[in-house]
Chain A
Amino acid sequence: MTSLEPTQMEQSCMRHEPEPPGEKVPRRKLLGWLVGVINLGVFAAIFTPTLRFIADPMRRKKGSDAWIPVIGDGEIAEGETRSVDYRVNVDDGYMVSPLRYSVFLHRSGGEVFAFSPTCPHLGCNVKFHSQNDRYICPCHGGVFSADGGRISGPPPHGLTKLPAKVENGQIWIQRV
Protein backbone atom coordinates (compact mmCIF):
# COMPACT_ATOMS: atom_id res chain seq x y z
CA MET A 1 0.00 0.00 0.00
CA THR A 2 2.71 2.45 1.03
CA SER A 3 4.65 1.67 -2.11
CA LEU A 4 1.85 3.02 -4.30
CA GLU A 5 2.11 6.50 -5.72
CA PRO A 6 -0.67 8.81 -4.49
CA THR A 7 -2.10 9.23 -7.96
CA GLN A 8 -2.30 5.49 -8.45
CA MET A 9 -3.99 5.06 -5.12
CA GLU A 10 -6.52 7.71 -6.00
CA GLN A 11 -7.20 6.00 -9.25
CA SER A 12 -7.66 2.65 -7.60
CA CYS A 13 -10.12 4.21 -5.16
CA MET A 14 -12.13 5.71 -7.94
CA ARG A 15 -12.22 2.54 -9.95
CA HIS A 16 -12.96 0.28 -7.00
CA GLU A 17 -10.23 -2.09 -8.05
CA PRO A 18 -9.53 -5.10 -5.88
CA GLU A 19 -7.51 -4.40 -2.72
CA PRO A 20 -3.78 -5.07 -2.87
CA PRO A 21 -3.11 -8.61 -1.69
CA GLY A 22 -1.70 -9.33 1.75
CA GLU A 23 -4.38 -7.64 3.87
CA LYS A 24 -6.68 -9.84 5.93
CA VAL A 25 -9.56 -7.37 6.12
CA PRO A 26 -9.53 -4.87 3.31
CA ARG A 27 -9.03 -1.42 4.81
CA ARG A 28 -11.46 0.35 2.51
CA LYS A 29 -14.22 -2.05 3.33
CA LEU A 30 -13.60 -1.72 7.06
CA LEU A 31 -13.67 2.08 6.95
CA GLY A 32 -16.79 1.97 4.81
CA TRP A 33 -18.52 -0.14 7.44
CA LEU A 34 -17.35 2.22 10.14
CA VAL A 35 -18.88 5.20 8.34
CA GLY A 36 -22.11 3.24 7.93
CA VAL A 37 -22.24 2.33 11.63
CA ILE A 38 -21.56 5.93 12.68
CA ASN A 39 -24.33 7.25 10.42
CA LEU A 40 -26.78 4.63 11.57
CA GLY A 41 -26.02 5.40 15.21
CA VAL A 42 -26.42 9.14 14.71
CA PHE A 43 -29.75 8.72 12.89
CA ALA A 44 -31.03 6.29 15.47
CA ALA A 45 -30.06 8.70 18.24
CA ILE A 46 -32.18 11.41 16.65
CA PHE A 47 -35.06 9.37 15.25
CA THR A 48 -35.81 7.05 18.14
CA PRO A 49 -36.61 9.79 20.68
CA THR A 50 -38.47 11.74 17.97
CA LEU A 51 -40.67 8.79 17.13
CA ARG A 52 -41.36 8.08 20.79
CA PHE A 53 -42.25 11.75 21.21
CA ILE A 54 -44.71 11.63 18.31
CA ALA A 55 -46.22 8.39 19.62
CA ASP A 56 -46.89 9.83 23.09
CA PRO A 57 -50.70 9.95 22.62
CA MET A 58 -50.70 6.16 22.27
CA ARG A 59 -49.52 5.83 25.87
CA ARG A 60 -52.42 7.88 27.29
CA LYS A 61 -55.19 6.14 29.16
CA LYS A 62 -58.78 6.25 27.99
CA GLY A 63 -61.15 9.02 29.03
CA SER A 64 -62.55 9.43 32.53
CA ASP A 65 -65.35 7.21 33.86
CA ALA A 66 -67.04 9.92 35.90
CA TRP A 67 -70.86 9.88 36.12
CA ILE A 68 -72.40 12.84 34.35
CA PRO A 69 -75.92 14.10 35.09
CA VAL A 70 -77.80 14.78 31.85
CA ILE A 71 -81.51 15.41 32.50
CA GLY A 72 -84.12 15.03 35.19
CA ASP A 73 -85.72 11.63 35.62
CA GLY A 74 -89.17 13.01 34.79
CA GLU A 75 -88.14 14.48 31.45
CA ILE A 76 -88.39 11.26 29.50
CA ALA A 77 -91.53 9.16 29.20
CA GLU A 78 -91.91 5.41 28.86
CA GLY A 79 -91.16 4.28 25.31
CA GLU A 80 -89.65 7.62 24.36
CA THR A 81 -86.27 8.13 22.71
CA ARG A 82 -84.66 11.53 22.78
CA SER A 83 -81.32 13.11 22.10
CA VAL A 84 -79.88 15.13 24.97
CA ASP A 85 -76.91 17.46 24.89
CA TYR A 86 -74.56 17.74 27.83
CA ARG A 87 -71.31 19.51 28.54
CA VAL A 88 -68.16 17.98 29.95
CA ASN A 89 -64.63 19.17 30.40
CA VAL A 90 -62.44 16.95 28.27
CA ASP A 91 -58.67 16.60 28.48
CA ASP A 92 -57.68 17.66 25.00
CA GLY A 93 -53.90 17.48 24.68
CA TYR A 94 -52.45 20.66 26.11
CA MET A 95 -55.85 22.12 27.00
CA VAL A 96 -59.05 21.24 28.78
CA SER A 97 -62.00 21.86 26.48
CA PRO A 98 -65.56 22.34 27.66
CA LEU A 99 -67.17 20.25 24.93
CA ARG A 100 -70.77 19.63 24.09
CA TYR A 101 -71.71 16.04 23.35
CA SER A 102 -75.01 14.36 22.81
CA VAL A 103 -76.44 11.06 23.95
CA PHE A 104 -79.62 9.17 23.08
CA LEU A 105 -81.75 8.23 26.07
CA HIS A 106 -84.46 5.63 25.79
CA ARG A 107 -86.86 4.48 28.49
CA SER A 108 -88.34 1.03 28.14
CA GLY A 109 -89.93 -1.11 30.85
CA GLY A 110 -89.16 1.62 33.36
CA GLU A 111 -85.43 1.27 32.74
CA VAL A 112 -83.33 4.01 31.13
CA PHE A 113 -80.88 3.12 28.37
CA ALA A 114 -78.21 5.42 26.98
CA PHE A 115 -76.71 5.08 23.49
CA SER A 116 -73.68 6.83 22.12
CA PRO A 117 -74.66 8.64 18.92
CA THR A 118 -71.35 7.62 17.34
CA CYS A 119 -72.05 5.17 14.53
CA PRO A 120 -70.03 1.98 15.04
CA HIS A 121 -69.16 2.06 11.36
CA LEU A 122 -66.97 5.11 10.76
CA GLY A 123 -68.04 7.41 13.56
CA CYS A 124 -70.68 9.79 12.14
CA ASN A 125 -73.43 10.83 14.54
CA VAL A 126 -76.62 8.86 13.91
CA LYS A 127 -80.06 10.50 13.90
CA PHE A 128 -83.24 9.19 15.45
CA HIS A 129 -86.37 9.12 13.31
CA SER A 130 -89.33 8.93 15.61
CA GLN A 131 -91.83 8.35 12.76
CA ASN A 132 -90.46 4.85 12.20
CA ASP A 133 -88.66 4.40 15.53
CA ARG A 134 -85.26 3.90 13.94
CA TYR A 135 -81.79 5.35 14.16
CA ILE A 136 -80.32 6.14 10.77
CA CYS A 137 -76.72 7.08 10.04
CA PRO A 138 -76.53 9.80 7.39
CA CYS A 139 -73.05 8.81 6.22
CA HIS A 140 -73.39 5.36 4.66
CA GLY A 141 -76.95 4.56 5.61
CA GLY A 142 -76.59 2.33 8.68
CA VAL A 143 -80.00 1.59 10.29
CA PHE A 144 -80.57 0.66 13.96
CA SER A 145 -83.67 -0.22 15.95
CA ALA A 146 -84.85 1.79 18.94
CA ASP A 147 -83.09 -0.63 21.30
CA GLY A 148 -79.79 0.07 19.53
CA GLY A 149 -79.56 -3.19 17.56
CA ARG A 150 -78.19 -3.18 14.05
CA ILE A 151 -80.79 -3.61 11.32
CA SER A 152 -78.93 -2.97 8.07
CA GLY A 153 -76.16 -1.09 6.32
CA PRO A 154 -72.41 -1.16 6.75
CA PRO A 155 -72.12 -0.88 10.56
CA PRO A 156 -70.66 -4.09 12.05
CA HIS A 157 -72.86 -4.08 15.17
CA GLY A 158 -75.45 -2.10 17.07
CA LEU A 159 -75.04 1.27 18.78
CA THR A 160 -72.70 1.43 21.76
CA LYS A 161 -74.63 1.25 25.00
CA LEU A 162 -73.37 3.62 27.69
CA PRO A 163 -73.75 2.93 31.44
CA ALA A 164 -76.81 4.81 32.71
CA LYS A 165 -78.52 5.10 36.10
CA VAL A 166 -81.27 7.07 37.80
CA GLU A 167 -80.27 8.68 41.08
CA ASN A 168 -81.58 11.64 43.07
CA GLY A 169 -84.18 12.38 40.41
CA GLN A 170 -81.48 12.70 37.73
CA ILE A 171 -80.40 10.50 34.85
CA TRP A 172 -76.64 9.92 34.90
CA ILE A 173 -74.42 8.47 32.21
CA GLN A 174 -70.81 7.48 31.83
CA ARG A 175 -68.76 8.29 28.75
CA VAL A 176 -66.61 5.31 27.95
Chain B
Amino acid sequence: MRDQPGSSVTETKGSPRSRKLVVMDWIESRTGFVSFSRKNLDEPMPPGVGWWQTLGNLLMTLLIFQFVTGVALAMFYAPTPDHAHQSVAYIMDGVTMGAFIRGLHHWGSSFIVLVATLHMLRTFFWGSYKKPREMTWVIGVLIFQVILGFSFTGYLLPWDQKAYWASVVGTRIIATIPYVGEHLMVLVRGGKEVGALTLTRFYGVHVMLLPAALIVLTGIHLYLVRKHHISGPVTPRKGRPAPFFPVQLLRDAVVVLVASGLLLMLAVAFRPELGGVADPSGVTFTPRPEWYFLGLYEFLKLMPPSLEVVGTLIVPSMVTIGMLLLPWLDRVESRHPAKRGWIIDLALFMILGIGVLTLKGVLSEPPPPPKAPEAEAVLAPAPTPPSRP
Protein backbone atom coordinates (compact mmCIF):
# COMPACT_ATOMS: atom_id res chain seq x y z
CA MET B 1 0.00 0.00 0.00
CA ARG B 2 2.92 2.27 0.70
CA ASP B 3 3.87 2.16 -2.94
CA GLN B 4 0.48 3.37 -4.01
CA PRO B 5 -0.20 6.41 -1.93
CA GLY B 6 -3.29 7.16 -3.99
CA SER B 7 -5.06 3.96 -2.96
CA SER B 8 -7.72 3.97 -0.31
CA VAL B 9 -7.20 2.56 3.14
CA THR B 10 -9.50 -0.23 4.14
CA GLU B 11 -7.91 -2.48 6.74
CA THR B 12 -6.71 -1.95 10.31
CA LYS B 13 -8.71 1.21 10.72
CA GLY B 14 -7.75 3.28 13.71
CA SER B 15 -4.22 1.92 14.19
CA PRO B 16 -1.50 4.63 14.24
CA ARG B 17 -0.01 3.25 11.07
CA SER B 18 -3.23 3.39 9.15
CA ARG B 19 -3.91 6.88 10.48
CA LYS B 20 -0.57 7.97 9.14
CA LEU B 21 -1.46 6.41 5.81
CA VAL B 22 -4.75 8.29 5.75
CA VAL B 23 -2.88 11.54 6.25
CA MET B 24 -0.32 10.65 3.58
CA ASP B 25 -3.15 9.64 1.29
CA TRP B 26 -4.84 12.97 1.79
CA ILE B 27 -1.64 14.96 1.21
CA GLU B 28 -0.87 12.95 -1.90
CA SER B 29 -4.31 13.38 -3.41
CA ARG B 30 -4.42 17.11 -2.70
CA THR B 31 -0.82 18.07 -3.50
CA GLY B 32 0.98 15.14 -5.14
CA PHE B 33 3.78 15.91 -2.72
CA VAL B 34 4.39 12.34 -1.56
CA SER B 35 5.10 10.99 -5.02
CA PHE B 36 7.03 14.17 -5.83
CA SER B 37 9.45 13.71 -2.97
CA ARG B 38 9.68 9.99 -3.64
CA LYS B 39 10.60 10.69 -7.24
CA ASN B 40 13.30 13.10 -6.12
CA LEU B 41 14.68 10.73 -3.51
CA ASP B 42 14.89 8.04 -6.20
CA GLU B 43 16.64 10.37 -8.65
CA PRO B 44 19.23 8.16 -10.38
CA MET B 45 22.89 8.97 -9.64
CA PRO B 46 25.23 7.61 -12.32
CA PRO B 47 28.11 5.52 -10.96
CA GLY B 48 31.05 7.78 -10.08
CA VAL B 49 28.93 10.53 -8.58
CA GLY B 50 30.35 11.32 -5.18
CA TRP B 51 31.65 14.07 -2.95
CA TRP B 52 32.19 16.57 -5.74
CA GLN B 53 28.45 16.59 -6.40
CA THR B 54 27.61 17.79 -2.90
CA LEU B 55 28.68 21.40 -3.56
CA GLY B 56 25.40 22.52 -5.13
CA ASN B 57 23.42 21.31 -2.16
CA LEU B 58 25.90 22.94 0.22
CA LEU B 59 25.61 26.22 -1.66
CA MET B 60 21.84 26.16 -1.42
CA THR B 61 21.99 25.40 2.30
CA LEU B 62 24.38 28.30 2.87
CA LEU B 63 22.07 30.60 0.91
CA ILE B 64 19.17 29.55 3.13
CA PHE B 65 21.29 30.30 6.24
CA GLN B 66 22.01 33.70 4.76
CA PHE B 67 18.33 34.30 4.17
CA VAL B 68 17.45 33.37 7.76
CA THR B 69 20.16 35.51 9.40
CA GLY B 70 19.41 38.30 6.93
CA VAL B 71 15.74 38.46 7.87
CA ALA B 72 16.77 38.56 11.53
CA LEU B 73 19.32 41.35 10.97
CA ALA B 74 16.78 43.38 8.98
CA MET B 75 14.61 43.48 12.09
CA PHE B 76 17.27 45.48 13.94
CA TYR B 77 18.89 47.44 11.14
CA ALA B 78 18.05 51.00 10.04
CA PRO B 79 19.23 51.99 6.54
CA THR B 80 19.89 55.69 7.14
CA PRO B 81 23.24 57.50 7.38
CA ASP B 82 22.48 58.78 10.87
CA HIS B 83 21.41 55.38 12.24
CA ALA B 84 22.89 52.59 10.13
CA HIS B 85 26.21 52.43 11.96
CA GLN B 86 24.49 52.92 15.30
CA SER B 87 22.01 50.13 14.64
CA VAL B 88 24.79 47.73 13.62
CA ALA B 89 26.75 48.69 16.76
CA TYR B 90 23.59 47.97 18.74
CA ILE B 91 23.21 44.59 17.01
CA MET B 92 26.81 43.79 17.96
CA ASP B 93 26.75 44.88 21.57
CA GLY B 94 23.14 45.36 22.66
CA VAL B 95 21.24 42.44 21.17
CA THR B 96 21.41 38.87 22.49
CA MET B 97 23.49 36.77 20.06
CA GLY B 98 23.86 39.91 17.95
CA ALA B 99 27.57 39.62 17.17
CA PHE B 100 27.08 35.92 16.49
CA ILE B 101 24.18 36.38 14.05
CA ARG B 102 26.01 39.15 12.24
CA GLY B 103 29.09 36.91 12.27
CA LEU B 104 27.14 34.11 10.59
CA HIS B 105 25.91 36.50 7.92
CA HIS B 106 29.35 38.04 7.45
CA TRP B 107 31.35 34.81 7.23
CA GLY B 108 28.51 33.10 5.39
CA SER B 109 28.95 35.48 2.47
CA SER B 110 32.61 34.49 2.11
CA PHE B 111 31.67 30.80 2.34
CA ILE B 112 29.10 31.29 -0.40
CA VAL B 113 31.51 32.94 -2.82
CA LEU B 114 34.02 30.17 -2.13
CA VAL B 115 31.56 27.28 -2.51
CA ALA B 116 29.94 28.84 -5.59
CA THR B 117 33.39 29.11 -7.18
CA LEU B 118 34.22 25.49 -6.36
CA HIS B 119 30.83 24.36 -7.69
CA MET B 120 31.50 26.21 -10.94
CA LEU B 121 35.02 24.82 -11.24
CA ARG B 122 33.70 21.30 -10.72
CA THR B 123 31.08 21.83 -13.45
CA PHE B 124 33.70 23.32 -15.71
CA PHE B 125 36.33 20.61 -15.41
CA TRP B 126 33.78 17.83 -15.66
CA GLY B 127 32.39 19.47 -18.80
CA SER B 128 28.93 19.15 -17.30
CA TYR B 129 27.70 22.23 -19.15
CA LYS B 130 27.70 20.37 -22.46
CA LYS B 131 24.57 19.36 -24.31
CA PRO B 132 21.84 19.13 -23.05
CA ARG B 133 22.79 21.10 -19.91
CA GLU B 134 23.77 24.42 -21.50
CA MET B 135 20.96 26.38 -19.87
CA THR B 136 21.68 24.92 -16.43
CA TRP B 137 25.17 26.41 -16.72
CA VAL B 138 23.88 29.76 -18.01
CA ILE B 139 21.43 30.06 -15.11
CA GLY B 140 24.25 29.09 -12.75
CA VAL B 141 26.46 31.90 -14.09
CA LEU B 142 23.58 34.34 -13.53
CA ILE B 143 23.21 33.05 -9.96
CA PHE B 144 26.92 33.74 -9.44
CA GLN B 145 26.40 37.32 -10.65
CA VAL B 146 23.51 37.70 -8.20
CA ILE B 147 25.77 36.43 -5.40
CA LEU B 148 28.41 39.04 -6.27
CA GLY B 149 25.62 41.65 -6.32
CA PHE B 150 24.67 40.59 -2.80
CA SER B 151 28.27 41.04 -1.63
CA PHE B 152 28.61 44.42 -3.24
CA THR B 153 25.35 45.89 -1.90
CA GLY B 154 25.65 44.24 1.51
CA TYR B 155 29.15 45.59 2.04
CA LEU B 156 27.90 49.20 2.31
CA LEU B 157 25.18 48.56 4.86
CA PRO B 158 27.22 48.76 8.12
CA TRP B 159 28.15 52.32 7.05
CA ASP B 160 31.60 52.25 8.57
CA GLN B 161 34.71 53.65 6.90
CA LYS B 162 35.47 50.40 5.11
CA ALA B 163 31.93 50.11 3.79
CA TYR B 164 31.69 53.72 2.72
CA TRP B 165 35.01 53.94 0.90
CA ALA B 166 34.74 50.55 -0.79
CA SER B 167 31.39 51.67 -2.16
CA VAL B 168 32.70 55.08 -3.23
CA VAL B 169 35.40 53.37 -5.27
CA GLY B 170 33.19 50.47 -6.36
CA THR B 171 30.47 52.72 -7.76
CA ARG B 172 33.05 55.08 -9.23
CA ILE B 173 34.18 52.20 -11.45
CA ILE B 174 30.82 52.51 -13.22
CA ALA B 175 31.67 56.09 -14.19
CA THR B 176 34.60 54.88 -16.30
CA ILE B 177 32.19 53.41 -18.85
CA PRO B 178 32.40 55.71 -21.90
CA TYR B 179 29.52 58.17 -22.53
CA VAL B 180 26.89 56.79 -20.15
CA GLY B 181 29.16 56.07 -17.18
CA GLU B 182 28.60 59.25 -15.16
CA HIS B 183 24.83 59.00 -15.53
CA LEU B 184 24.81 55.33 -14.63
CA MET B 185 26.86 56.04 -11.55
CA VAL B 186 24.38 58.69 -10.42
CA LEU B 187 21.59 56.18 -10.99
CA VAL B 188 23.36 53.51 -8.93
CA ARG B 189 24.34 55.91 -6.16
CA GLY B 190 20.98 57.65 -6.13
CA GLY B 191 22.84 60.94 -6.35
CA LYS B 192 26.15 62.48 -7.22
CA GLU B 193 27.78 61.23 -4.06
CA VAL B 194 27.42 58.17 -1.87
CA GLY B 195 24.85 59.16 0.74
CA ALA B 196 21.41 58.56 2.22
CA LEU B 197 19.87 57.49 -1.07
CA THR B 198 22.76 55.13 -1.84
CA LEU B 199 22.09 53.38 1.43
CA THR B 200 18.34 52.96 0.84
CA ARG B 201 19.01 51.93 -2.74
CA PHE B 202 21.56 49.27 -1.81
CA TYR B 203 19.33 48.10 1.02
CA GLY B 204 16.32 47.75 -1.30
CA VAL B 205 18.36 45.82 -3.83
CA HIS B 206 20.00 43.67 -1.15
CA VAL B 207 16.83 42.64 0.68
CA MET B 208 14.17 42.71 -2.06
CA LEU B 209 15.44 42.61 -5.62
CA LEU B 210 18.34 40.19 -5.33
CA PRO B 211 16.56 37.65 -3.09
CA ALA B 212 13.63 37.60 -5.53
CA ALA B 213 16.02 37.12 -8.46
CA LEU B 214 17.92 34.43 -6.58
CA ILE B 215 14.78 32.47 -5.73
CA VAL B 216 13.52 32.51 -9.31
CA LEU B 217 16.93 31.58 -10.76
CA THR B 218 17.53 28.84 -8.20
CA GLY B 219 14.08 27.40 -8.96
CA ILE B 220 14.89 27.24 -12.67
CA HIS B 221 18.37 25.83 -11.95
CA LEU B 222 16.98 23.01 -9.79
CA TYR B 223 14.24 22.25 -12.30
CA LEU B 224 16.86 21.94 -15.03
CA VAL B 225 19.16 19.82 -12.87
CA ARG B 226 16.33 17.37 -12.30
CA LYS B 227 15.14 17.50 -15.90
CA HIS B 228 18.54 16.56 -17.34
CA HIS B 229 19.76 14.57 -14.31
CA ILE B 230 23.29 14.52 -12.95
CA SER B 231 25.97 14.22 -15.62
CA GLY B 232 28.29 11.77 -13.86
CA PRO B 233 32.04 11.40 -14.40
CA VAL B 234 33.67 12.47 -17.66
CA THR B 235 34.22 8.89 -18.80
CA PRO B 236 31.11 6.85 -18.02
CA ARG B 237 31.77 4.09 -15.53
CA LYS B 238 30.33 0.61 -15.46
CA GLY B 239 27.59 -0.18 -13.02
CA ARG B 240 24.03 0.75 -12.29
CA PRO B 241 22.89 4.19 -11.21
CA ALA B 242 22.11 4.42 -7.51
CA PRO B 243 19.12 6.30 -6.13
CA PHE B 244 19.83 9.70 -4.58
CA PHE B 245 18.54 8.44 -1.23
CA PRO B 246 20.26 7.35 0.94
CA VAL B 247 23.96 7.35 -0.06
CA GLN B 248 24.28 10.64 -1.94
CA LEU B 249 21.90 12.40 0.42
CA LEU B 250 24.05 11.23 3.33
CA ARG B 251 27.15 12.65 1.60
CA ASP B 252 25.27 15.92 1.21
CA ALA B 253 24.38 15.90 4.88
CA VAL B 254 27.97 15.19 5.97
CA VAL B 255 29.34 18.03 3.84
CA VAL B 256 26.70 20.43 5.16
CA LEU B 257 27.53 19.32 8.70
CA VAL B 258 31.25 19.98 8.30
CA ALA B 259 30.75 23.34 6.57
CA SER B 260 28.17 24.52 9.09
CA GLY B 261 30.51 23.50 11.89
CA LEU B 262 33.30 25.60 10.38
CA LEU B 263 30.94 28.52 9.86
CA LEU B 264 29.69 28.37 13.44
CA MET B 265 33.26 28.22 14.74
CA LEU B 266 34.27 31.24 12.67
CA ALA B 267 31.22 33.20 13.83
CA VAL B 268 31.99 32.39 17.46
CA ALA B 269 35.74 32.95 17.27
CA PHE B 270 35.92 36.06 15.10
CA ARG B 271 33.67 39.03 15.68
CA PRO B 272 32.93 40.74 12.40
CA GLU B 273 34.54 44.14 12.61
CA LEU B 274 32.73 47.43 12.68
CA GLY B 275 35.05 50.37 12.04
CA GLY B 276 34.50 54.03 12.70
CA VAL B 277 31.43 55.64 11.18
CA ALA B 278 31.61 56.62 7.50
CA ASP B 279 33.51 59.88 7.09
CA PRO B 280 33.85 61.57 3.67
CA SER B 281 36.81 63.59 4.95
CA GLY B 282 38.66 60.44 5.95
CA VAL B 283 42.10 61.21 4.58
CA THR B 284 43.70 58.69 6.89
CA PHE B 285 41.71 55.74 5.66
CA THR B 286 42.84 53.35 2.92
CA PRO B 287 39.89 51.67 1.23
CA ARG B 288 40.11 47.98 0.45
CA PRO B 289 37.47 45.73 -1.04
CA GLU B 290 36.39 42.33 0.29
CA TRP B 291 38.93 39.57 -0.44
CA TYR B 292 37.06 38.18 -3.42
CA PHE B 293 37.24 41.51 -5.21
CA LEU B 294 40.97 41.91 -4.45
CA GLY B 295 41.93 40.30 -7.77
CA LEU B 296 40.08 43.00 -9.68
CA TYR B 297 41.52 45.63 -7.32
CA GLU B 298 45.08 44.55 -8.07
CA PHE B 299 44.27 44.34 -11.77
CA LEU B 300 43.14 47.98 -11.72
CA LYS B 301 46.48 48.98 -10.19
CA LEU B 302 48.27 47.51 -13.20
CA MET B 303 46.29 49.50 -15.76
CA PRO B 304 47.79 52.70 -17.15
CA PRO B 305 45.27 55.57 -17.47
CA SER B 306 44.74 55.08 -21.19
CA LEU B 307 43.73 51.47 -20.63
CA GLU B 308 41.63 52.13 -17.55
CA VAL B 309 38.38 51.07 -19.16
CA VAL B 310 40.02 47.76 -20.08
CA GLY B 311 40.38 46.92 -16.40
CA THR B 312 37.10 48.34 -15.18
CA LEU B 313 34.77 47.28 -17.96
CA ILE B 314 36.16 45.34 -20.90
CA VAL B 315 37.97 42.50 -19.15
CA PRO B 316 35.30 41.91 -16.46
CA SER B 317 32.44 41.94 -18.94
CA MET B 318 34.34 39.77 -21.41
CA VAL B 319 34.95 37.22 -18.68
CA THR B 320 31.24 37.25 -17.80
CA ILE B 321 30.09 37.00 -21.42
CA GLY B 322 32.66 34.29 -22.06
CA MET B 323 31.30 32.33 -19.11
CA LEU B 324 27.71 32.72 -20.33
CA LEU B 325 28.68 31.56 -23.81
CA LEU B 326 31.01 28.81 -22.61
CA PRO B 327 28.76 25.90 -23.71
CA TRP B 328 28.83 27.28 -27.27
CA LEU B 329 32.51 28.29 -27.27
CA ASP B 330 33.63 24.82 -26.25
CA ARG B 331 32.56 22.81 -29.29
CA VAL B 332 34.54 19.65 -28.55
CA GLU B 333 32.10 16.84 -27.96
CA SER B 334 34.18 15.04 -25.34
CA ARG B 335 33.77 16.11 -21.74
CA HIS B 336 37.28 14.96 -20.86
CA PRO B 337 39.53 17.91 -19.86
CA ALA B 338 42.49 16.44 -21.74
CA LYS B 339 40.54 16.51 -24.99
CA ARG B 340 39.13 20.01 -24.72
CA GLY B 341 42.26 21.90 -25.75
CA TRP B 342 42.35 25.69 -25.72
CA ILE B 343 39.33 26.20 -23.50
CA ILE B 344 41.02 24.34 -20.65
CA ASP B 345 44.29 26.23 -21.24
CA LEU B 346 42.46 29.56 -21.21
CA ALA B 347 40.57 28.66 -18.06
CA LEU B 348 43.74 27.53 -16.30
CA PHE B 349 45.42 30.77 -17.32
CA MET B 350 42.52 32.82 -15.95
CA ILE B 351 42.26 30.84 -12.73
CA LEU B 352 46.01 31.27 -12.23
CA GLY B 353 45.77 34.98 -13.04
CA ILE B 354 42.88 35.63 -10.67
CA GLY B 355 44.59 33.52 -8.02
CA VAL B 356 47.91 35.35 -8.28
CA LEU B 357 46.27 38.78 -8.28
CA THR B 358 44.07 37.88 -5.31
CA LEU B 359 47.10 36.57 -3.44
CA LYS B 360 49.03 39.74 -4.29
CA GLY B 361 46.13 41.78 -2.96
CA VAL B 362 45.94 39.77 0.25
CA LEU B 363 49.69 40.02 0.84
CA SER B 364 49.91 43.74 0.07
CA GLU B 365 47.54 44.43 2.95
CA PRO B 366 48.80 47.54 4.68
CA PRO B 367 49.33 47.08 8.43
CA PRO B 368 46.06 48.34 9.97
CA PRO B 369 46.35 51.64 11.79
CA PRO B 370 49.90 52.19 13.10
CA LYS B 371 50.26 55.94 13.00
CA ALA B 372 53.95 56.64 12.53
CA PRO B 373 55.06 54.29 9.71
CA GLU B 374 51.87 54.94 7.78
CA ALA B 375 53.54 57.01 5.08
CA GLU B 376 55.92 54.14 4.31
CA ALA B 377 53.10 51.61 4.16
CA VAL B 378 51.19 53.82 1.80
CA LEU B 379 54.14 54.40 -0.44
CA ALA B 380 54.83 50.69 -0.75
CA PRO B 381 51.97 49.56 -3.03
CA ALA B 382 52.61 52.19 -5.69
CA PRO B 383 52.99 50.07 -8.86
CA THR B 384 55.00 52.52 -10.93
CA PRO B 385 58.04 54.51 -9.81
CA PRO B 386 57.30 58.24 -9.54
CA SER B 387 60.11 58.90 -12.02
CA ARG B 388 57.90 57.86 -14.96
CA PRO B 389 57.30 60.76 -17.33
Whether A associates with B in a native complex is yes
Within 8 A of B (CB), among A39-73: 54-55, 57-58, 60, 62-63
Known: A95-B82, A102-B281. A152 touches B308 (CB 8 A): no
CB distance from B165 to the nearest CB of A (A): 7
User: Quick one: closest A residue to B388, CB to CB?
Assistant: A152
Total count of chain A residues near the partner, CB < 8 A? 43
Known: A122-B172, A140-B383. A83 touches B283 (CB 8 A): yes
Q: Is B359 interfacial (CB-CB < 8 Å)?
A: no
CB distance from A133 to the nearest CB of B (A): 11
Q: Is A90 interfacial (CB-CB < 8 Å)?
A: yes
Instruction: Tell me, in angstroms, the Cα distance from A176 to B192 when the chains sit together.
Output: 11
User: Is chain B's binding surface mostly helix, strand, loop or mixed?
Assistant: loop
Q: Is B321 interfacial (CB-CB < 8 Å)?
A: no
What interface size band does chain B fall in?
35 or more
- Contact between chains at B384 and A141 (CB < 8 Å): yes
User: Quick one: closest A residue to B300, CB to CB?
Assistant: A140
- Which residues of chain A have C-beta atoms less than 8 A from B176's C-beta? 122
- Contact between chains at B191 and A60 (CB < 8 Å): yes
- Contact between chains at A97 and B383 (CB < 8 Å): no
Give the residue of A60, A97, A143, A154 whose beta carbon is less than 8 angstroms from that of B386: A143
- Which residues of chain B have C-beta atoms less than 8 A from A107's C-beta? none
CB distance from A72 to the nearest CB of B (A): 19
- Contact between chains at A141 and B301 (CB < 8 Å): yes
CB distance from A19 to the nearest CB of B (A): 33
Instruction: Tell me, in angstroms, the Cα distance from A153 to B308 when the chains sit together.
Output: 11
Within 8 A of B (CB), among A90-111: 90, 92-95, 97, 99-102
- Contact between chains at A95 and B196 (CB < 8 Å): yes
Residue ranges of A at the interface with B (Cβ–Cβ < 8 Å):
54-55, 57-58, 60, 62-63, 83, 85, 90, 92-95, 97, 99-102, 117, 121-127, 129, 131, 134, 136, 138-141, 143, 151-157
